[in-house]
Structure 1
Amino acid sequence: MDKTQEDAAQPPAIIDLEASGFGRGSYPIEVGFALEDRQVHSFLIRPAQSWTHWSEEAEKIHGISRAQLQEHGLNPREIALKMNELLAGKTLYSDAWSFDSSWIGRLFDEAELIQRFRIETVNKLLNEAQMEAWHDTKQHLWDELNVGRHRAANDVKVLQETFLRVTQS
């Protein structure tokens, strides 16, 4: 495999977050990212004391309870430090950029740290035909892989594979 083929087979770093809800006042409760080498990291986030918003509808979707976050989550500063250590200088891509970048901003604000990586929309890497194929390809992969949705670690794996399929077809 030559260098060009090797680069084409390597997916971009992908990030995904789950949150306490969908609207104003929502905050991140889980972050996952898959690096270019497909290594996946995922962390539950213990809510800061001032983070009180909670949506039962969102909990039904992601299946993460407040009790799980209290018991197994790390505090926002611990996660922000880990993310900066693992992601410094990188650009990660999201298929829900406006939500994910907002929730990462909230995490780093709470941690009182400067974010040392960037988040961009995955659309910047895709042409029009690839963007049109994105949703159906992702849906097909969910069915094919039969893994739980709306958990950050699973989502980033599916998003990376979606990227590879739409860009290599």
Structure 2
Amino acid sequence: MPVLLDIEASGFGRGSYPIEVGLARADGSYCSFLVQPLSEWTHWDPKAELLHGISRDRLVREGHAIIEVARWLNDELTEIGVAYSDSWGYDNTWLSLLFHHAGMLPRFRLEALRRLLDEYQLSVWTVTKEALIRDNAIQRHRAGDDAHLLQLTYQHTLDASRHRPSSE
């Protein structure tokens, strides 16, 4: 089972930064950490806060220091070597920002989840994901839950792909 990574952010675009990092591990367990923003990280999009429900004040109070989050990611992912994201462009940018400000290099790669999916998985991805959200009451736009949802969706679409009748 691939390891999935998801990042929630202060918004999108210029000036945005990571506020929560979540992982779904190969064994199916998942977790996340809030990220304490640096003082120079001032961008805040109220629309993003409406989605993820995390206030900047909460990040200041409960967030982990950037270096702690970077160390945790390296501890979790060095041996595995790779994690996957469904929003590689955004997540890779935010991950790079996090490691840059931690003064560290990631000891793993972040790859696009799409690279693992066959055509059939891609064709049933959205409907499968929506069914899993509905049937399992999964909270959206929280990094750990979203990483877990991606992993469940991957597993369900893979199973469906393996068991579909051949079109010969």
TM beyond 0.5: yes
Alpha-carbon distance in 1 for matches of 2:85, 2:123: 16
State the match for 1:149 in structure 2. 140
State the match for 2:52 in structure 1. 62
Alpha-carbon distance in 1 for matches of 2:123, 2:112: 15
1:78 is aligned to 2:32? no
Correspondent of 2:7 among 7, 17, 26: 17
1:117 is aligned to 2:108? yes
State the match for 1:131 in structure 2. 122
Alpha-carbon deviation of 1:133?
A: 1.3
Which deviations, in whole Å up to 9, do the C-alpha atoms of 1:111-147 show, x marking residues without a partner? 0100111111111111112112112211111111112
State the match for 2:166 in structure 1. none
Alpha-carbon deviation of 1:39?
A: 2.2
Alpha-carbon distance in 1 for matches of 2:41, 2:62: 17
**Aligned partner of 2:131: which letter?**
H
Alpha-carbon distance in 2 for matches of 1:146, 1:85: 30
Alpha-carbon deviation of 1:167?
A: 0.6
Alpha-carbon deviation of 1:96?
A: 0.7
Alpha-carbon deviation of 1:149?
A: 0.6
Which deviations, in whole Å up to 9, do the C-alpha atoms of 1:54-88 show, x marking residues without a partner? 00000000000011101110111111011111211
SS of the equivalent of 1:33 reads strand
The count of corresponding residues between Structure 1 and Structure 2 is 159
State the match for 1:6 in structure 2. none
Alpha-carbon distance in 1 for matches of 2:107, 2:113: 19
**Aligned partner of 1:53: which letter?**
H
Alpha-carbon deviation of 1:98?
A: 0.7
1:27 is aligned to 2:17? yes
**Runs of 4+ residues over 3 Å off in structure 1:** none
- Structure 2, unmatched stretches of 5+, are 161-168
Aligned-residue identity in percent = 43
**Aligned partner of 1:57: which letter?**
K
SS of the equivalent of 1:30 reads strand
**Aligned partner of 2:107: which letter?**
R
- Structure 1, unmatched stretches of 5+, are 1-10
